[in-house]
Structure 1
Amino acid sequence: MKKLLAVMMAFMLVVLAACSSNEAGSSGEASGGGGAEGAPRDMAFGSATVGGFWYTLSGAMGEKMKEVYPESSVTVVEGGSVSNLLGLSQGTFALGFSNGQTVPEALNGINAFKEKVDNVSTVATLYPNVFHIVVRADSDIKSVKDLKGKKVSPGIKGYSGELAFQDILKLNDMSYDDLGGIEYIGTADGADLLRDGHIDAIVGMVSAPVSTFQELDTTLGIRLIPLDDETVKGLHELNEGYLEYDIEGGTYSNVKEDVKTVAGYTVLLVNDDLMDEESVYKLTKMMVEEKDTWTKLSPIMKDFNAEYSVQNNVGKLHPGAEKYYKEVGALK
């Protein structure tokens, strides 16, 4: 019996060793060097919850990436600005999105990041991710301070929109304790609760426009709550990644006037240990040269191109991205 157990244990060790070897190979790690060799066979893409443009864009990118990396599979994973960067740093994600104000925090190891993130690089800076406070058109909420006693969905806990909302409340001498309730849910679920009258406001950093709020505006009618000058200035002083932004009147059909708020750029990043120079070069080339595909998904991508990406760059550029931008003359 003991001999049989020993044989079985030895067999399991061999199987585990083989699995470990296969996993290392599929992750794109070079044998002995720890660096990337090509694209991983299984590419996890850190995105966001259903209902936001990140999820829509990452899905479309995943389809195009099948052509760029025919031997790899792409899995879009619901994540968020902070969790995606943590996942990238840990090698859980090969690529992912984050917000511009979160990237410096990761690189410097502050706030949500206990250690500096030094194995993640930027591929492209895509478009402004805009802070929204959305209420029903007939709501009596007109300002941030009017949220006192109201039920709010700030998005998923720990997401960039939720963190920005906490800063905004502090700048207005408020906290969650002043609200009537909090619902940590995604954009689409938050829209359903607002429509049904179960919450009074939705908060998020999303594209402008974002399809979920467009649909809500068409079926229900919405208003956007502006940020005052002191709040905008205070946010920028807290984090230079927060930039003043006006949501133009007409972006949502029932919102006729410009609405002052802040934005941070959406950034596409990769794990340096999983994506080598050539694979990131191909990814960068795909992002720029498929611009028409992304613009059809949302007009928020209309300004994106190689020059735009370089001029608004957030974080350190991956060598593969640098190679492409130099090739097309966007980077000297």
Structure 2
Amino acid sequence: MTNTNFGANRRDVLKGIGGAGLVGLAGCTGDSEGEQISWHAGGQSGTYYPLSNEFKTVVDEETPHSLTVQSTGASVENAGSLGSGDADFALLQNDIAYFAANGTGIDAFADSPIENLRGVATLYPETIHIVVRSDAGIESLTDLEGMSVNTGDLGSGTQVNALQILETVGITEEDFDEQNAGFGTAADQLRDGDVEAAFVVGGWPVGAVEDLAQTADVEILSLDQSTRDEIKDAASWFADDTIPGGTYEGLESDINTVSVQAMIATREEYSADVVEAVTAAIFDNLDDLTIKTDFISVDSAQDGMSIDLHEGAARYFE
């Protein structure tokens, strides 16, 4: 798939099979030439939404299909939307995908597995940013006890990760004042002094954190190795990660933290031809992307895949 001519020929073929594969779907779409694809992303201040719009550009240009990107509460909500058929594709974290498919891990999926959830590709590390006000005296995770902390949108992957991490160091939901809002609102809360800390999960640099670092006196908590090891021992989907010094204005030292993995998912019953065409459009045109390009590749697209692969994606990667 690195040969340019092969990639071009493959795209032409996939345009054809993408349209042909819609014959069986025509009753749903009313359009024999292209599928109207519903793609659920995340909040507009994170990475999911702008990256999804870059995917939209290549899918719209390279296939007969039209992709519509919807802003959502991200991982947990997106898994449910795939399960109900409201979404055709969605971005979510690999840990949330595992919980959803297996009906475990968090209350939202307890004993209610989303059995039609299928994987397409993993993309990039989603880094845990623990952003704190510089004047709050927070030097470690345990200092968050008794504080007002934004753990992300209610039911989001960010909230799930935040509560998992806090529980690792012995802080339960009764031990702090939990606030729930998206990245943009969390930044405003930190700037205005309404919370002492906020969890933000996304591939660095996260736009909301970039803006906040330029306009407020904040820091990102660096975790010592023993704390990172505790977090990884408690949940195997976490991995060590480092935010390089200088990524955010005024934060010149490397920040040690942990991460999960962002991934594309779909639903089992969705057309294998369309899934293959969309997957090919994205991974045959990586040079057209500008976001997370150091991480997204064909070679790494199954690293950390936590659920069964969709037939259409398997066709492409195999």
Q: Which residue of 1 aligns with 2:84?
A: 90
Within 5 Å, give how 1:96-111 maps onto structure 2.
96-111=90-105
Q: Which residue of 2 aligns with 1:51?
A: 45
Question: Could you tell me how far apart the structure 2 residues matched to 1:40 and 1:237 are?
Answer: 43
Q: Which residue of 1 aligns with 2:293?
A: 301
State the TM-score, normalizing by the size of structure 1. Answer: 0.79
AA matched with 1:240: S
1:176-229: per-residue Cα shift (whole Å, max 9, x none)?
A: 3322x3221110111112112222111121111111111111222431112343
1:223-247: per-residue Cα shift (whole Å, max 9, x none)?
A: 1112343442333233321112122
Say whether the 8 Å CA contact 1:155–1:184 is kept in structure 2: yes
Q: Are the structure 2 counterparts of residues 313 and 27 from structure 1 closer, same or farther at C-alpha, using a change threshold of 3 Å?
A: farther
Match of 1:266 among 259, 262, 266: 262
Between stretches 166-175 and 135-144, larger displacement belongs to 135-144
State the TM-score, normalizing by the size of structure 2. Answer: 0.83
Q: Are the structure 2 counterparts of residues 38 and 100 from structure 1 closer, same or farther at C-alpha, using a change threshold of 3 Å?
A: farther
Q: Which residue of 2 aligns with 1:330?
A: none
The CA deviation at 1:129 is: 0.4
The CA deviation at 1:310 is: 3.0
Structure 2 unaligned blocks of 5 or more = 1-24
AA matched with 1:238: A
Question: Could you tell me how far apart the structure 1 residues matched to 2:70 and 2:59 are?
Answer: 12
Aligned length: 291
Q: Does 1:176 align with 2:168?
A: no
Q: Which residue of 2 aligns with 1:118?
A: 115
Question: Could you tell me how far apart the structure 1 residues matched to 2:258 and 2:51 are?
Answer: 22
AA matched with 1:259: I
Question: Could you tell me how far apart the structure 1 residues matched to 2:120 and 2:165 are?
Answer: 30
AA matched with 2:61: E
Within 5 Å, give how 1:106-255 maps onto structure 2.
106-111=100-105, 112-113=108-109, 114-179=111-176, 181-255=177-251
Structure 1 unaligned blocks of 5 or more = 1-21, 29-36, 327-332
AA matched with 1:105: F
Q: Does 1:279 align with 2:282?
A: no
SS in 2 for 1:260: strand
1:78-110: per-residue Cα shift (whole Å, max 9, x none)?
A: 132112112111211100011011222222221
Structure of higher CA gyration radius: 1
Question: Could you tell me how far apart the structure 1 residues matched to 2:301 and 2:168 are?
Answer: 31
Question: Could you tell me how far apart the structure 2 residues matched to 1:151 and 1:254 are?
Answer: 24
